[in-house]
Amino acid sequence: MAGKKNWFVALMDKFAGDKLVLIILLLLMMISALCIFSSTSQLPEVLRGTASRTDVMFNHFKTIGMGLAVIAFLYLLCGVKVLRTFGRLGFVTSVALLLFLASHMSLGPIAAAPINGAWRVIKIGGFQFHVFEFVKVAMVMYLAYAIETLKNGGFAFLEIIADRYPRFFFIGSEMWKKIICIYCPMGLIFLLVAMGSVTSSLFIALVMFLTIWVGGLNMRELFLIGGAIAILGIGIYGTFKLTDGAVFSRLETAQSRLESFDDKIQRVLDAKPKSQEYYKALGAIEQQYGSRIAIKEGGLFGKGAGGSSQKYKVSVMFEDFMFSFVVEEYGLFGAIILFVLFSSLIMRGSLIARNCDETFPKVAVAGLVLLISGQAYLHMFVNTGIFPMTGQTLPLISHGRFAFIMFSAAFGIILSISKTAEKNIAKEIRDAEPLIESRPDVDAGMDDLDRLEDNLIEN
């Protein structure tokens, strides 16, 4: 006899969005709470003596609460129509924020500020607005809006200009609409972000490229865009060299990150012990070296919660090297869990996007899923030494309030859109071929066993 459903099962039954995406989200949040509490020994607040481990954990719970509030707002109150409006404003808002950041301005309590030598935040009172984290999500939404508008024959203002001013007749064509409304915005965002962080600009460019790729734009044009980005990159590097590093100064940091780890180790070995060059070379490798030690010591099942020793040596383990921390404490088993969660998000996101009836929600879901999982994979590859350092955190797990909120917003948008695709997904699942062929005689026998079991329980 069936028992009463517990509160969680009953809540999941009432949930109208994609349940698997919600479960992935909740699991990532729980993992983040566990990891942040265990890695607090090296958090800046603790080191400065301005907060205890309990204070840091309480603040992280507040961050999780803010993330859940953002998700609830987007899920409950923002349908596709409202999200489309957000997308329309994504590019303009991103450019305004990036220009303010590049100007190093301050207007009363609002001021652009650097972090570790890179201008990437706008301080509003005591709150830090990480511009690059906002731009990642905003540009995915804008490109989804722009691709749908182009497919529906929109951006009529360009046709009006072409008709009114004969010398600009060409801008009314479809190709020039793409150049003006998609490709030029992508190039401008890449250029503005590169002024503050080269690695972030490359990652954001990759996300934008993948977003327009899933949007179904012409492959030949995509190759042209790739070439244009390469030419723009060469121009940026040329400017850096001609100005002796005064412009695009972050390229120097990018160059050091691209240098092989073995070369960095050799520089330590070649330097005179205890010299200034020795300590400088040692400082360039200690974080990467510590993260690799953490992965090696993690083994199969890890040291257990709180057992990490490298968190005392790697100063930003709770941010840029969170995956190494997870492996050290939970071993290969913990790494597999993270990989499965982010891979499952891609597969489920693909199902949601495939079952959206309109272009905007389809491209928005695909782009946001690629953003979240792509950054997660990049973070893992950097931690394992496959890729050079990029400074990209592990989504929803690494320490950082604003990044957590923006990734929560991405999940909220995915869940909101999944409500519109739910019926189509259910139909696709019903129409799918079963993995095991059903046999009526076996089904009848199982029904008899169920009835027998119910009678035994009742008696």
Mean pLDDT by 10 residues, the chain (459 residues): 60 78 95 83 57 75 94 92 94 94 85 79 85 96 95 83 81 85 91 84 90 81 72 74 65 56 62 69 68 85 83 75 90 93 94 91 95 94 80 88 94 94 70 59 61 60
Residue 122: Cβ within 10 Å count: 21
CA Rg, the chain, in Å? 25
List the one residue out of 196, 187, 173, 21 whose CA is nearest residue 103.
196
Nearest partner of 66 among 367, 407, 364, 372, judged by Cα: 407
CA distance 289 to 103: 36
DSSP 151-211: HTT--HHHHHHHHH-GGGGGGGSHHHHHIIIIIHHHHHHHHHHHTT-HHHHHHHHHHHHHH
Concatenate the DSSP letters of all residues of 261-329 into one string: HHHHHHHHHHSPTTSHHHHHHHHHHHHHHHHHHHHHHHTTT-S-TT--SGGGT-TTTTTTTHHHHHHHH
> Looking at residue 56, what is its pLDDT?
75
Q: Which residues does residue 110 pair with via DSSP β-bridges, in sequence order?
A: 107, 124
Instruction: Name the residue among 365, 354, 458 with its Cα closest to residue 412.
Output: 365
**Model's pTM, two decimal places?**
0.82
Strand (E) or helix (H) holding 2: none
Query: What pLDDT does residue 454 have?
Result: 61
Residue 418: what pLDDT? 92
Residues 122, 205: Cα–Cα separation, whole Å: 22
Q: Which residues lie across from 229 on neighbouring strands?
A: none
| pLDDT number for residue 1 | 46
